Amino acid sequence: MKRISFFLSLAVIITFVSCGGLKTDVKKKLKLFKEYTEIANKASEDGKLDDDEIKDINEIQSKIDDFIDKMDKKYETPMIVHKHKHE
């Protein structure tokens, strides 16, 4: 479920990259994913995960999750509720 949420949020962010406000956030998000990929690739080279590698992967995943939560809050569109008055 998180992966679907991640890809949807990434698609939305990429769609709005032309808006200057998101550019920095997109760069940071991509930097985090690049770091995660590098850590995961290095950890998988020997086909075994040791405690330090697991710790590193969990730390970067936590950073990514925190960043995504912040971006969800930052770019959240409030629900508009219309109340109709009956006369």
pLDDT of 4-27, one tens digit each?
666 667 666 666 554 546 788 889
The answer to whether residues 66 and 36 touch, using CB atoms and an 8 Å cutoff, is: no
In this structure, is residue 79 part of a structural domain?
Answer: no
pLDDT tops 60 at residue 69:
yes
In this structure, is residue 47 part of a structural domain?
Answer: yes
Average pLDDT of the chain to the nearest whole number? 79
Instruction: Supply 26's token pair.
Output: 């997109």
With residues binned 3-state (H G I as helix, E B as strand, rest as coil), the percentages for the chain, rounded to 5, are: 70, 0, 30
Nearest to 36 by CA among 71, 63, 9, 11: 63
In this structure, is residue 45 part of a structural domain?
Answer: yes
In this structure, is residue 82 part of a structural domain?
Answer: no
pLDDT at 18 (0 to 100): 47
In this structure, is residue 50 part of a structural domain?
Answer: yes
Upper half-sphere CA count for residue 51 (Cβ side, 13 Å): 0
Give the total number of structural domains in the chain: 1
Instruction: Enter the pTM of the model.
Output: 0.62
Name the more confident of 82 and 39: 39
In this structure, is residue 84 part of a structural domain?
Answer: no
